[in-house]
Amino acid sequence: MMKKSHLIQIIKEEIQHVLREESNLYTLEGLLKTNTDTKQSGRPQKDILSDIRAIEGITIVSSKDYTLQSDISPIKNPNYYSLITIKIDPDPFKKTGFTEDNLKDIMDKIRQVKGVKGFERKTDVEKITVT
């Protein structure tokens, strides 16, 4: 028969394990090419980023201008590049764990967002712990 103190210790360890898992996020950076020319079936950058944020698992998208040549802006050039950082919450993938297939699916969904002309991963996925 298991002692009560041993059972309590097992429960505490399991709770700590669950809390650690729930406090993990995954992050990656990628180069996003968008069409921001609304006259040519493009969309405003803020709307494109908003649709990317709506993809299951994505919690945060931040964006920085990425210049391929001097003086490019979304107004002057409809083929606008930005370096985006995406944070992914693994909670929707609890049953299987967050896998490379999940990442590929997320990247495909980003590429399917209206106004996105391309998305290329620039970094490996990094696991971070949120405190």
What pLDDT does 76 receive?
57
Residue 109 placed within a domain? yes
> Which residue range forms the structural domain that includes residue 118?
25-129
Residue 20 placed within a domain? no
Q: What is the DSSP string of 68-106?
A: SSTT--TTT-SEEEEEEEEEE-SGGGTTT-S-HHHHHHH
Q: Judging by DSSP bridges, how do beta strands 79-88 and 24-35 pair with one another? A: antiparallel
- Global pTM exceeds 0.75: no
The enclosing domain of 69 has a CATH number of 3.30.70.380
pLDDT for 63 beyond 70: yes
Residue 75 placed within a domain? yes
Residue 29 placed within a domain? yes
Give per-residue pLDDT as tens, 107-126: 999 999 999 999 999 988 88
